[in-house]
């Protein structure tokens, strides 16, 4: 019977860990991450679950003769925000994945 007590204790720990992970992930998804491109010509705000919340483009960067520059700035700003999300996700959720292969 001693083995059953250990099993119940382990299950409680797993349930506690799952609850903490879920709460951490929900908090992460509600955070906002701002990505910027050169001189803040383009600014994008994403939520932690990678949904676009806001996008600002300064008028001086809109050049009909050079749409590639605006495209590049959008890409830089988006990648900046995504990198910030990935770093925060690793920092927040990584502690749960240590020792649990395949979790994230």
Mean pLDDT of 63-74: 95
70, pLDDT greater than 90? yes
Element (H, E) at 46: strand 42-47
Q: Does CATH number 3.60.20.10 belong to domain 32-96?
A: no
Q: Which two tokens stand for residue 79?
A: 């990648």
pLDDT in tens, 16-67: 888 999 999 999 999 999 999 999 999 999 999 999 999 999 999 999 999 9
- The whole-number average pLDDT for the span 54-81 is 96
Model pTM? 0.76
- What pLDDT score was predicted for residue 3? 59
Rounded Cα distance between 5 and 20, Å, is 23
Decide if pLDDT at 104 tops 50. no
| Lookup result for tokens 């383009």 | 42
Enumerate the domain spans of the chain: 32-96
């Amino acid at each position: 019977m001693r083995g059953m007590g250990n099993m119940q204790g382990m299950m409680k720990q797993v349930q506690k860990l799952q609850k903490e992970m879920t709460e951490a992930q929900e908090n992460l998804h509600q955070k906002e991450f701002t990505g910027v491109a050169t001189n803040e010509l383009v600014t994008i705000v994403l939520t932690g679950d990678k949904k676009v919340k806001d996008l600002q483009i300064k008028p001086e960067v809109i050049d009909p003769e050079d749409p590639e520059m605006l495209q590049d700035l959008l890409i830089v700003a988006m990648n900046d925000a995504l990198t910030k999300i990935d770093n925060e996700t690793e920092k927040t959720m990584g502690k749960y994945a240590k020792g649990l292969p395949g979790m994230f």
